[in-house]
Amino acid sequence: METGSTKRRTVLVAQGVGRSYHGKAVVSEVDLAVPAGQTVAVLGPSGAGKSTMLRCLAGLEPIQTGSVGFQGELLSKAGAKPRAVGGRIGMVFQQFNLFPHLTAAQNVALAPVKARHTPKRQAHTEARALLERVGLPEHCDHYPYELSGGQQQRVAIARALAMRPELMLFDEPTSALDPEFTREVLSVMRDLADSGMTIIVVTHEMGFARQSADRVVFMAEGRIVEDGPADTVFTTPRHGRTRQFFDQILGE
């Protein structure tokens, strides 16, 4: 989590980002600047455009208005194909998408070997260290089918970390998991946040957002309607739409 008050470098800047499908706006006028080390939780009702916005920020989707800058360089602009930044932006999705025929360590080592030309032996040593970091030192040689959903998602996190990302994006990483496995994945994410990683996470885990995020962005109908310190947004949401969402989801 972010500490101290010194001004931090901005890792990601979105300005006026918009995306539509078949003429229907799904993301509109998104402005967001994320400083290094910050953990941003993106909340909002289903269909609000959270996933689409995250994909636009990652350069996985072309945008129709605005621009996205990453580490001071243009990543994406209206009407152009986004620039590929490889593993510098790590993505973790709801579905883990591990290669079923590869062990956990092989899954983690694959991209550094293929895309970064890291020597195999070094990549495997690093993969084992990363699997230890996500609490799976005993599972390096296990295949995905031998792992629980929570363990597979932790392998997916290790796989993203293997590319030494400067920004980690999570898209509902625990939505496909049972509660007992959700906890262990959230705990890994909390450790990452505490280690100073810059994180944007779309989540329905309100406890995680409140306790582990520095900042909450609330989206409705494709727009950011509220953006502020996590504690402030939870205790005194300014926008009626945010209050309504919390009332529904927290059952107050």
Least distance between ligand ADP and beta carbon 173 (Å): 13
Name residue 181's amino acid.
F
Distance from first CA to last CA of the chain, Å, rounded? Answer: 28
Least distance between ligand ADP and beta carbon 221 (Å): 9
Phi, psi of 72 (to 5 degrees): 80, 0
* CA neighbor of 55 nearest in space, from 82, 31, 73: 82
Cα of 1 vs its chain's centroid, Å: 14
**Do residues 17 and 63 touch, judged by C-beta distance below 8 A?**
yes
Q: Which is nearer to ligand ADP, 61 or 184 (CB)?
A: 61
Least distance between ligand ADP and beta carbon 211 (Å): 22
Least distance between ligand ADP and beta carbon 20 (Å): 9
**Burial, 252: exposed, middle or buried (Cβ in 10 Å; 0-12, 13-18, 19+)?**
exposed
Residues 6+ apart with CB under 8 A from 21: none
Least distance between ligand ADP and beta carbon 48 (Å): 4
CA distance 234 to 246: 8
Q: Which is nearer to ligand ADP, 49 or 237 (CB)?
A: 49
Phi, psi of 178 (to 5 degrees): -70, 155
Least distance between ligand ADP and beta carbon 119 (Å): 39
Which residues are near ligand ADP by CB under 6 A?
A: 21, 26, 44, 46-52
Q: Which is nearer to ligand ADP, 35 or 62 (CB)?
A: 62
CA distance 199 to 95: 18
Q: Which is nearer to ligand ADP, 12 or 42 (CB)?
A: 42
